[in-house]
Amino acid sequence: MRLRHAAGVWEIFIPRVAAGALYKYEITGPDGARLPHKADPCARQCELPPSTASRVADAHPFTWHDQAWMAARGGWERKPLSIYEVHAGSWRRDAQGLSLDWDALGDQLVPHVQALGFTHIELLPVSEHPFGGSWGYQPLGIYAPTARHGDPAAFARFVDRCHGAGIGVIVDWVSAHFPTDVHGLQRFDGTALYEHEDPREGFHRDWHTLIYNYGRNEVSAFLVGSALEWIERFHIDGLRVDAVASMLYRDYSRPEGEWVPNEHGGRENLQAIAFLRRMNAEIRRRFPDVMLMAEESTAWPGVTAPAEHGGLGFTHKWNMGWMHDTLQHMGRDPVHRGWHHSEMTFGLVYAFAERFVLPLSHDEVVHGKGSLLRRMPGDEWQRFANLRAYLALMWAHPGAKLLFMGGEFGQLAEWNHDAQLDWEEARRPPNDGLARLVGDLNRMLRAQPALHAAEQDERSFDWSVADDSRNNVVAFLRHDPEGGAPSLLAVTNLTPTVHHGYAVGVPSAGAWRELLNTDSAHYGGLLQTVPRPMHGHAQSLLLTLPPLATLYLQAEA
């Protein structure tokens, strides 16, 4: 190869190289020794693991049919957002027990998600990665879809199928670290090229991976280029950036003396912060209709504030605090819940500080945590009742919704990335009833602007009942302050006891319709207000609250 000094790149001409050809780089290190053969960091296609070569990609552009979707996908700020999170390799397997390819997923996954009413699919990382057990979170080919499900054109066809069905596609994208495989980025030219030389900065103790050196312009540009590649080449509608907290703090998961302070003596990773701001600003400038989500588990301020205003520039942040508090509460025996009532209400203290996603993700159903259903207390009826009430409360709560596959029908076993979901279980009652409820919740979310149109506006929420720890009841109103759509009342009873004549104040007199009742197989019915002052309102509804249930109600027009 020869170095083109003006451009700063190496090049080589090889005649008659066609799409599909395999290649690697042979690099001589600074000491003159030949290094292990390296895969192309910018390869647009890769060999099927466990093989590790890069592959020459077809240069012909994909023919898209999603022009209508792309033209209309903007304005997400006032649109409903409910996300079905998927691990493509274990959602369903074929008759031989092998993972489905992208075309089969288009045939089966897309109609499943469409029937459930989710607005988006979020894929666990689909960048090429050597170790399947990492679920994609240790990628090396961040410019190429994994060959496990087909070639890049097949992935583009899948996205095109989703868009044709009215479903957006979000991909998990990893810029926090990379694995140490010898064919990858580690000591790429015999030196710490992509990573830091000092392991106190460049080695991740939890995952035994290497950390990008964000202070190098070449590394920052490499990562930004990858993010843009997924958006431009594959029409991706959003990126969810993994492990942002590990990027922001130099002492993340490190004991004293095992980390290097920044130039001001602090723990903040100033280079990573600058990289995230640069990337998000560039994407927002070029693709303002694309969402950028951060998995950030600390109280870092301004994650979703614009970069020019001192924020990180993301559009959404995963609300890990809400998830931890509420799952802990739902796992308690109802007899003890009253003593921990704030676990269900504290999230509203900060619910509008960022634009949040409420995540019931893959991380909550692995490593011995159990499935969502198994985490609920009681017998089978109580477990399903708890989960139905919890999901309906979540769908009414401010914030976008995210549910990992299997949660929609209450799979009992926790997720196993080497096996498909239990689709036999999904067809049985009461699992099928839970799936019907999730579909109804998504359709309610779409139909009711009060539930989605002003997710970051404090005026969209009013407490009705926040402090009834004795009865473990919460109730609140959701509003559409700008659009003027009808408000919606959500009431949740988290005890296995029926509450008769439970009074909840409402803002308008007259008839109120029951839109949804998680304890009922059928929806409907009318309730009449009474002139009884309650919760700051002149009128009240006297409700019969079923055990372990959530109700949605709305005033008749």
SS3 for 539?
A: strand
Model pLDDT, residue 531: 67
429 or 393, higher pLDDT: 393
Top-level class of domain 79-178+213-246+290-451:
alpha beta
Cα–Cα distance for residue pair 264/553, rounded to 1 Å? 54
Mean pLDDT of 140-166: 98
Residue 530 has pLDDT above 80, yes or no: no
Cα–Cα distance for residue pair 162/268, rounded to 1 Å? 39
**268 DSSP assignment:** B
Instruction: Note whether 280 and 292 are within 8 A (CB).
Output: yes
Q: What share of the chain is helix, strand, coil (3-state, %, to 5)?
A: 30, 20, 50
Cα–Cα distance for residue pair 152/56, rounded to 1 Å? 11
Q: Considering only CA atoms, which of 441, 452, 379 is closest in space to residue 407? A: 441
User: pLDDT tens digits for 1-13?
Assistant: 888 888 778 888 9
507 or 447, higher pLDDT: 447
Mean pLDDT of 369-398: 96
Model pLDDT, residue 522: 40
**355 DSSP assignment:** -
CB neighbour list of residue 221: distance below 8 Å, 6 or more residues apart? none
CATH no. for 459-555: 2.60.40.1180
Model pLDDT, residue 437: 95
Helices (H), ranges, 313-451? 320-330, 334-337, 372-375, 380-396, 423-426, 431-447
CA distances from 445 to 248, 392, 396 (A): 34, 10, 8
Q: Considering only CA atoms, which of 57, 75, 71, 46 is closest in space to residue 17? A: 57
Model pLDDT, residue 6: 81
Residue identified by tokens 């990773």 is 269
Mean pLDDT of 333-347: 97
Residue 154, judged by CB atoms within 10 A of its CB (0-12, 13-18, 19+), counts as middle
Residue 176 has pLDDT above 50, yes or no: yes
SS3 for 459?
A: helix
CB neighbour list of residue 406: distance below 8 Å, 6 or more residues apart? 365, 371, 415, 421, 422
Q: Considering only CA atoms, which of 525, 549, 546, 529 is closest in space to residue 537? A: 529
**Given CA atoms 383, 385, 386, 387 in this order, what sign does their dihedral have?**
positive
Model pLDDT, residue 10: 84
Model pLDDT, residue 528: 55
Per-residue tokens: 516 = 């949804």
- DSSP labels, 152-220: HHHHHHHHHHHHHTT-EEEEEE--S-B---TTSSTTTTSS-SSB-SSHHHHEETTTTEE-B-TTSHHHH
Cα–Cα distance for residue pair 268/277, rounded to 1 Å? 14
User: pLDDT tens digits for 423-437?
Assistant: 999 999 999 999 999
Please tell me the number of Cα atoms within 13 Å of 44 on its side-chain side.
Answer: 18
Model pLDDT, residue 526: 41
Top-level class of domain 16-56:
mainly beta
Instruction: Note whether 201 and 260 are within 8 A (CB).
Output: yes
User: pLDDT tens digits for 73-93?
Assistant: 999 999 999 999 999 999 999
Model pLDDT, residue 340: 98
Residue identified by tokens 């004795």 is 470
Amino acid letter, 445: L
Model pLDDT, residue 529: 54
Rg of the chain in Å (alpha carbons)? 25
Cα–Cα distance for residue pair 257/262, rounded to 1 Å? 14
Amino acid letter, 136: G
Model pLDDT, residue 64: 98
Residue 532 has pLDDT above 90, yes or no: no
Instruction: Note whether 440 and 470 are within 8 A (CB).
Output: no
Region of poorest pLDDT, from 106-115, 178-187, 396-405, 508-517: 508-517
Q: Where are the domains of the chain?
A: 16-56, 79-178+213-246+290-451, 459-555
| Residues acting as catalytic residues | 242, 295
Q: Do domains 16-56 and 459-555 have the same CATH topology?
A: yes
Q: pLDDT category, 552, cuts 50, 70, 90?
A: very high
Pairing mode, if any, of strands 316-318 and 291-294?
A: parallel
Cα–Cα distance for residue pair 531/522, rounded to 1 Å? 29
Q: Considering only CA atoms, which of 66, 541, 9 is closest in space to residue 222? A: 9
User: pLDDT tens digits for 460-476?
Assistant: 999 999 999 999 999 99
Residue 536 has pLDDT above 60, yes or no: yes
Tell me the average pLDDT of the chain: 94
Please tell me the number of Cα atoms within 13 Å of 454 on its side-chain side.
Answer: 18
Mean pLDDT of 152-167: 99
Instruction: Note whether 393 and 437 are within 8 A (CB).
Output: no
Percent of the chain clearing pLDDT 70 (strictly above): 97
User: pLDDT tens digits for 294-336?
Assistant: 999 999 999 999 988 999 999 999 999 999 999 999 999 999 9
Percent of the chain clearing pLDDT 90 (strictly above): 89
Cα–Cα distance for residue pair 130/147, rounded to 1 Å? 11
Model pLDDT, residue 73: 96
